[in-house]
Amino acid sequence: MITLLRKELLEAWRSYRFLAVAAVLTFFGLLGPLSVKYMPDLLGALPNVPDGLADLMPPPNASLALAEYVENITLFGAILALLVPMGALAGEKASGTAALVLSKPVGRGAFLFAKFLAHSTTFAVGVLVAGLGAYYYTGLLFGWLNPARFIALNVLLLFDLIAYMSFTLFGGAFFRSQLAAAGMGFAFLVSLGVLGAVPGLGDYLPAALVRWGLGLAQGVVGQPAWPALATTLGLVLAAFGLGWWVLRRQEI
Residue type, 106: V
How distant, in Å, are the alpha carbons of 154, 198, 204, 225 from that of 212? 11, 18, 12, 6
Instruction: Write down the pLDDT at residue 52.
Output: 57
CB 183 within 8 A of CB 190: no
What residues in the chain have per-residue pLDDT under 70? 1, 40-57, 93-94, 96, 98-99, 102-103, 105-106, 250-252
Question: Amino acid identity of 128?
Answer: L
Q: What is the pLDDT of residue 127?
A: 96
Cα 62 from chain centroid (whole Å): 22
Q: What percent of the chain has pLDDT over 90?
A: 40
Q: Evaluate the CA torsion angle 110, 14, 17, 124 in order and state its sign.
A: positive
Contact status, residue 159 vs residue 232, Cβ threshold 8 Å: yes
Closest-CA residue to 239 (of 179, 192, 177): 192
Instruction: Tell me the pLDDT tens digit for each residue of 73-101.
Output: 999 999 999 888 887 777 776 676 766 77
Please, what is the Cα angle at 13 between 5 and 181, to 5 degrees? 70
Comparing C-alpha atoms, which of 38, 117, 37, 31 is closest to residue 75? 31
144-186 residue pLDDT tens:
999 999 999 999 999 999 999 998 888 877 877 778 888 888 8
